[in-house]
Each structure stands twice: as structure tokens, then as C-alpha cells.
Amino acid sequence: MKKILLFPLSVSHVLQSVIGTFLGGILSFMMCVFIIVPVVTTFTTMFYYKFLVSVLGFPVSLGFTVSVFNQLLGVYFAMLCLLSILPRFSYKTVRG
């Protein structure tokens, strides 16, 4: 009787941890994309653009600078989100 009761509890625990991890990852990703990235991009692109112009000696198009910088930021935040999700996920599955 105990084995029958324990099985659904463990399955629900694993499902809850997986769903919670998934939702947490989505929320942190949304926060990064909609709040942090625009603010960081706006400020750092200005400095980055001035730095590029002073180093290269000729003006680079601002659109090119922004697109390259956005790609780098996107990769960086994606890695951060993955790093925040993976340890929680593996810990829950091993413990559960």
C-alpha cells in the first residue's frame, strides 16, 4: 500500500520541480529581455560606439554597432539563463 501511495507523490514532485524550473527560466528570461537588455544596450552602445570611432578613426554605422552588440548581449543573457536553470534542474531530478 505504501508503494502505491509513494509513486504518485514522487511523480508529482518531479513534475512540479520541472514545471517550476521551466516557469522560473521563462520569467527570468522575460525579465532579462524586456527590462535589463534595453536599459543596458542603450547606455553601453553609446560608449561602445564612441570607443569604436576613436579606435578605428572613421565612423562605423550605428545600426551595425547596435546589431553586433545586441547579438553579443543576447548570447550572454542566454548563457546566464541556462546557467541559472541547469543546476536547479539537475539538483531537483537527482534529489527527487
Terminal-residue alpha carbon distance, the chain: 20
Rounded CA-CA distance 10/35 in Å is: 37
Calculate mean pLDDT across residues 26-35.
Answer: 67
Q: Give percent of the chain with pLDDT exceeding 70.
A: 15
Domain assignment of residue 20, given as a range: 2-95
Coil/strand/helix, residue 59: coil
Q: Where are the alpha helices (DSSP H) in 32-57?
A: 37-56
Q: Which pTM was predicted?
A: 0.30
- 5 or 36, which is more confident? 36
Q: Give percent of the chain with pLDDT exceeding 90.
A: 0
Number of independent structural domains in the chain? 1
Rounded CA-CA distance 84/32 in Å is: 12
Q: What is residue 23's DSSP assignment?
A: H
Coil/strand/helix, residue 3: helix
Report the candidate in 50, 46, 51, 44 with the shortest Cα–Cα distance to residue 72. 44
